[in-house]
Structure 1
Amino acid sequence: MSNRWILSEYDVESAFQQPAPFLKTLKSHGLAVTHTRLIGGRRDGVELLTVNNGDFSFTTIPTRGMGIHQAKHGETRIGWTSPVEGPVHPRFVPLAEPSGLGWLDGMDELIVRCGLESNGAPEFDAETNRLKYPLHGRIANQPTEDVVVVVSEDGELCISGEVRETRFLCYNVALKTEIRTKSGENGFRIRDSIVNRSAQATTAQMLYHINLGAPILGEGASVVCPAVEICPRNDHAASGITDWSTYSGPTDGYQEQVYFMQFAGDENGQTSALLKNAAGDQGVSVHFNVKQLPCFSLWKYTAAEQDGYVTGLEPATNYPNPRSFEEKQGRVVQLAPGTSYDIDLALRFHPDTASVEAAEKAIVALTEGTEAKVHRMPQASWCS
């Protein structure tokens, strides 16, 4: 089979000729990519691309903005168990639902992008009380166009596509994405470009909601990050500020806590955050650049397992407050006509103590000799 695979070349024909669920696999250079179309229930019509590069595998969802649904290393799952039980087809996610919270009807991914017009809390028109911006935006519930899978001569796999957030007379921006991995790599790399397709200047926001649960998350798990400043989002989060970096086991009735942060980076702006288990022998790290993603949110939701025991590591262009608040603080991306804003993100799994310790050492070195400024209460310029 060719090392270049264009989904649109066979999708329509395959839908009529293949038994359901449709399945097709590309193999090259020790890599395997399987294309699946799900049937039945709220998953009906969802298309998945599952990549296996050896011990590590992950699944991306072209139907849902090219988010990452789950990943695995051997038998260790990297992701979480959501009560939503997706992946849910976008037609069952009511983004315009009056409360502004319809986005939650589809939330169960490992990595889900929030944006592009807005990425924070719902916002309503002050005069009419009608919804202006729904929770976390629309991009995660848009289909991916022009999906191509390529394996290069040196064995690097790249899945690319374009997700368009376009409404006539209102907004015309696209997300061009590439997801890359190599055989034996314990993770993957993402390059996203937010493109202004309009002849007019516009703005954008982006947040990566990276969600992790058991078995990495558990009693005694902790997050390691090069924070230089930390701020609780609200009074409830402030009540837990002394324990912001550690986790309890599943707790019935737990109320979410969110902490906004600024990170240190190296001379090029590169930085990372690590979630490690209590034993310190497994972990997941997220890598990004503070020049591209200057804001970081830590979301803690250690509720009962059946309610979604999870934490979120969330690098972003801004904090997830209502869009108008963030715009007043200057935390929106400015895009001239035809220009783009590039973002690089990577996720890595650490399968043993040595790997976890090496990741932690690299993070600690970014703030060596300095101590983070910790705000005990929400700050007016950080929190709406």
Structure 2
Amino acid sequence: MPGALPHAGRADLLARVGSVQQAAYARPIAYQEGRAHGLAAVEVKNGPMRFVAMADKALDVSQFEWRGENLSFLAKPGLNGRNQFDTNGVEAQRSIMGGLFFTCGFENIGAPVATDGAAGRYPAGDFPMHGRIRTTPAEHVCSDARWEGDDYVLEVSGEMRESALFGENLVLRRRIRTTLGSPTLTVEDEVTNEAFRAEPLMWMMHCNIGWPLLDEGAEVIIPSRAVEPRDVDAEADLAHWAEIGAPEANRPEAVFLHTLAADADGRSFAAVINRTLGLGLVIDFSVREFPYFMEWKSLAAGDYVVGLEPANSSVRGRTWHEARGDLHLIEPQAVERKSLSFTVVEGEAALAGVMARRDALLR
């Protein structure tokens, strides 16, 4: 296994360290300056992997490192605590940090919108860019590190509630898990509608790859059966959606909507690989849980990022689904579960394996 520590198990490791925290830990932290002042988080290290889950921001993972190299994207505003512009229309761009992923929804994904609810068929209101759940602080936060046989398990969990008087009452329970030496991080989510009416449940995992994994010559690997540009900027780049070039000043972003191939169990994936580094990051998920998939590609200097975005709705947004009559709803007291995992791959053979997996799904 790439990155696995060279120890047979629990006793073998304990013979070599005083505290297991020499190799791995999960510890609560808080930031002390700037816009991040007071931001509560949990820092986790499993040996070669280090990540930070933000307790004040839906337990989204802000930083993700492998062997000391950052693989995720951090936007210009940097780390943010809760600000007055968290969910005010397009001002969300002043608090969207990127990170390994941020959770979009649950009442909207995509651009901010005001809607009458398609003539009363759906709840009406003003819905901010990518929704409110990403700025919701967690309760009942737990960080744990423990032995399960010869596996040293590192885990973060908590609960977020998106709710309003006379409105929705959606509860997200999240668990993030890895093990010592593993190249894989798993996110398991469960949403319960604790209200007494059906509620919209738009749900997108906005996964963000940044430098140095993202660099000139890197490749986006997606088993895409069909791809549609969102707008004219994406249409101009359509033939090159999988290619990563050098940063360019003021280059417009491009968003592509993909139809993914999947195996018999509905499993699919998306990845970015960098042959120069001999490194890649693979995101695994189910197309039954996430039937939509978007690629966000920004090669603009200073905003250099690729977003890989499994979702249960289109990034075209809430009013697009309302007009079609297929806005996804969760019934009163119902529960929906979703999961995805991030795996670091290293070496020429492993990168070739990612491409072979794509080709096999497309046959």
Paired residues in the alignment total: 335
Closer, same or farther: CA 177–29 of 1 in aligned 2, 3 Å: farther
**Which residue matches 2:70?**
77
Deviation at 1:331, TM superposition (A): 4.9
What secondary structure does 2:321 align onto?
A: helix
Q: Deviations 1:219-251 (Å, cap 9, x if unpaired)?
A: 121111111121000122111111111011110
Whether 1:89 and 2:81 are equivalent positions in the alignment is: yes
- Alignment pair present for 1:104 and 2:93: yes
Q: C-alpha distance in 2, partners of 1:360/1:76?
A: 23
Aligned amino acid, residue 163 of structure 1 = M
Q: Percent identity?
A: 25
Are 1:27 and 1:33, in contact at CA under 8 Å, matched by a contact in 2? no
Distance 1:34 1:210 in 2: 24
Structure 2 counterpart SS, 1:165: strand
Q: Is the 8 A contact 1:225 1:364 kept in 2?
A: no
Return 5+ residue gaps in structure 1 as ranges.
1-25, 369-384
Deviation at 1:171? Answer: 1.2
State which of 158, 162, 165 in structure 1 corresponds to 2:162.
165
In structure 1, give the amino acid aligned to 2:309. E
What is the alpha-carbon distance in structure 2 between the residues aligned to residue 27 and residue 171 of structure 1?
Answer: 43
Q: Is 2:37 the partner of 1:36?
A: no
What residue number does 1:316 align with? 311
TM-score normalised by structure 1 residue count: 0.83
Mark the runs of 5 or more structure 2 residues left unpaired by the alignment: 1-18, 117-123
State the secondary structure of the residue aligned to 1:301: strand
Is 1:58 equivalent to 2:51 in the alignment? Answer: yes
CA–CA distance in 1 between the matches of 2:289 and 2:252? 31
Name the TM-score, length of structure 2 as normaliser. 0.87
Q: Decide whether the 8 Å contact of 1:274 with 1:360 is kept in 2.
A: no
* Aligned twin of 2:243: 246
Tell me which residue corresponds to 2:268: 271
1:287 aligned onto 2:284? yes
Q: Amino acid of the residue matched to residue 38 of structure 2?
A: G
CA gap of 1:181–1:362, structure 2 versus 1, over 3 A, is same
How far residue 204 of structure 1 moved from its aligned partner, in angstroms, is 0.5
* 1:307-349 deviation line (CA, Å, top 9, x unaligned): 2211101111111123121233355432111111111111111
Match of 1:147 among 141, 154, 176: 141
Which sits farther off after the overlay, 309-318 or 354-363? 354-363
Match of 1:339 in 2: 334
Cα distance in 2 between the residues matched to 1:331 and 1:157: 39
Look up the equivalent residue of 1:150 and give its one-letter code. D
How far has the Cα of 1:112 moved from its partner? 0.5
Contact 1:122–1:131, Cα closer than 8 Å, also in 2: no
CA distance in structure 1 between the aligned counterparts of 2:178 and 2:260, rounded to whole angstroms: 26
8 Å CA contact 2:275–2:348 kept in 1: the answer is no
SS at match of 1:325: helix
